[in-house]
C-alpha cells in the first residue's frame, strides 16, 4: 500500500515547525501571493515541466497561461478549464483539489498545500482576472 503523498507534504505544516514559511512541499518555494500572482507562480514552478510550449494534453501554461485557461474548454473533459466565477465548474480546480471528477490530480506528483488550492478557488470565484 502506498501512503498518500499529500499527507506527507502536510506533516511539516501540521507539526508547526515554521508557520511563516510557505512551501508547496514539492521542492519549490512559493511566496504565498494571492490571486493570479499566486496561481501563475504555481504554474511556473509545478506545471511547465509538462505543460510548457506544445505541452501535454495541449495545455501550454507557459506562453500566456491566463488566456490558455480562462473560458477555454478542456481537451479531455466536457467542461471549461476555468469557468470565471465558479470554481466548482472548473476542470482546473477539480484536478488540483484532487476531487477525481476529471481524472487524476495535478500536479501528477500529488496535491499541493490546501492554501494553494484555496487561492485558486478564490481567484476563479473572483472572476479569474488576468492580473
Ligand atoms: C509530470 C507531467 C505533468 C505535470 C507536472 C503536470 N501535468 Fe497536468 N497533465 C499531465 C497529463 C499526462 C495530462 C493528461 C491526463 C489528464 O487529463 O489527467 C494532464 C492534464 C492536465 C489538465 C487537463 C487538460 C485538458 O484540457 O484536458 C489540466 C487542467 C492540467 N493537467 C493542469 C496541470 C496543472 C495546473 C499542473 C501544475 C499544478 C500540472 N497539470 C502539472 C501531465 C502533467
Q: What is the dihedral of CA 89, 90, 91, 94, to 10 degrees?
A: -80
Q: Whose CA is nearest to atom 30 of ligand 1?
A: 106
Mutate which of 59, 71, 89, 97 for ligand 1 pocket (most atoms within 8 A of beta carbon) = 59
pLDDT for residue 131: 86
Where is pLDDT greater, at 28 or 114? Answer: 114
Atom of ligand 1 nearest to the CA of 76: 27
In whole angstroms, what is the distance from residue 53 CA to residue 36 CA?
A: 20
For the record, the C-alpha cell of 53 comes out as: 510550449
Give residue 16's pLDDT band: very low, low, confident or very high (50, 70, 90).
Answer: very low
Mean pLDDT is lowest, of 15-19, 21-25, 95-99, for 15-19
For the record, the C-alpha cell of 96 comes out as: 488540483
What is the 86 CA–ligand 1 centroid distance (Å)? Answer: 20
Percent of the chain with pLDDT over 70: 79
* pLDDT tens-place string over residues 34-69: 999 999 999 999 999 999 999 899 999 999 999 999
What is the 104 CA–ligand 1 centroid distance (Å)? Answer: 8
* pLDDT at position 124 over 70: yes
pTM of the predicted model as reported, rounded to 2 decimal places: 0.85
Where is pLDDT greater, at 23 or 28? Answer: 28
Amino acid at each position: 500500500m502506498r501512503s498518500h503523498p499529500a499527507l506527507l507534504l502536510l506533516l511539516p505544516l501540521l507539526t508547526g515547525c515554521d508557520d511563516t514559511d510557505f512551501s508547496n512541499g514539492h521542492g519549490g518555494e512559493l511566496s504565498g501571493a494571492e490571486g493570479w500572482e499566486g496561481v501563475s507562480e504555481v504554474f511556473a514552478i509545478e506545471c511547465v515541466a509538462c505543460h510548457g510550449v506544445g505541452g501535454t494534453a495541449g495545455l501550454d501554461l507557459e506562453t500566456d497561461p491566463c488566456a490558455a485557461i480562462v473560458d477555454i474548454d478542456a481537451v479531455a473533459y466536457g467542461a471549461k478549464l476555468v469557468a470565471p466565477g465558479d470554481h466548482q465548474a472548473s476542470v482546473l480546480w477539480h484536478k488540483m483539489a484532487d476531487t477525481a471528477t476529471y481524472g487524476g490530480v495535478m500536479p501528477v506528483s500529488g496535491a499541493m498545500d490546501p492554501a494553494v488550492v484555496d487561492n485558486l478557488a478564490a481567484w476563479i470565484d473572483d472572476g479569474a482576472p488576468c492580473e
